[in-house]
Amino acid sequence: MANVGTEVGQEAPDFTLVNQDDEEVSLSDYRGKQNVVLVFYVGAFSSICDGEFRGLAGNADRYDASGAAVIGISTDTKWTLKKYKDDNGFPATFLADFWPHGAVSRQYGVFVDDFGFAKRGTFIIDKNGIIQGKVVNEPLDARNEDDYFAALQQCS
């Protein structure tokens, strides 16, 4: 078994959070089934996040072709995430890292204590649970999806 951590080549830390439909979702649910693009973001309905998720939605076919599930994680409540998904029709699964506040964001090293939300951290995790790519941007710096697709090519 690989060392658990948040660096490329390490086993991604497992977690369980509730999704926008109040269902428990664990990272380990995807083991042996799908690659995962784990997207930590500042918050629902923020302009940069909206743009990023519109880009992710626009490339849904490319993620599907890569055998990847896109999972967004923020410190928003499950009710906020439900409204966000319903209003925008985003295909991603949204998980609430609300309580204990930011626990999974902290586990992945992207939580910003001074503000109470996560940086724009993205982790590309293969079917075996190994991190194949990592991109962490500051809250006001949008991400580049090309980095995700490059990392997905490394997934088995």
Residue 155 annotated as catalytic: no
Residues 46, 35: Cα–Cα separation, whole Å: 27
CA 68, CA 132: separation in Å to the nearest integer? 12
Q: CA 63 to CA 59: how far, in whole Å?
A: 7
Identified catalytic residue from 12, 38, 42, 49: 49
Distance CA 4, CA 15 (A): 12
- Angstrom distance (rounded) from CA 48 to CA 54: 10
Which DSSP string do the residues of 84-150 spell out, in sequence order? HHHHHT--SEEEE-TTTTTHHHHHTT-EETTTTEE-EEEEEE-TTSBEEEEEEE-TTS---THHHHH
Active site residues: 49
